[in-house]
């Protein structure tokens, strides 16, 4: 079982993996609202190479933007499917 990490520690972990965090306050707010797993774990593979390293200059904001895009697309699809 993995050890619990605070949102601050999770952001530090991302920075150690060379993910840029342009606005730490924004990132903390989003992690509190949606969780690290929902944002990062679900979409990180789109930002990694074959060696499982993040591409250069990847930012948390880009990962979150993909999360938001996907969330909104799902809502649109649901709306018209119903």
- 7-56 pLDDT, tens digit per residue, is 999 999 999 999 999 999 999 999 999 999 999 999 999 999 999 999 99
Distance CA 82, CA 79 (A): 6
Say what the pTM is: 0.90
pLDDT surpasses 90 at 64? yes
Sign of the Cα torsion 24, 17, 34, 64 reads positive
């Amino acid at each position: 079982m993995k050890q619990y990490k605070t949102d601050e520690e999770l952001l530090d972990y991302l920075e150690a993996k060379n993910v840029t965090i342009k606005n730490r306050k924004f990132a903390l707010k989003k992690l509190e609202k949606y969780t690290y797993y929902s944002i990062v774990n679900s979409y990180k593979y789109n930002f990694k190479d074959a060696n499982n390293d993040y591409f250069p200059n990847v930012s948390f904001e880009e990962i979150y933007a993909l999360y938001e895009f996907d969330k909104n697309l799902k809502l649109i699809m649901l709306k018209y499917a119903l």
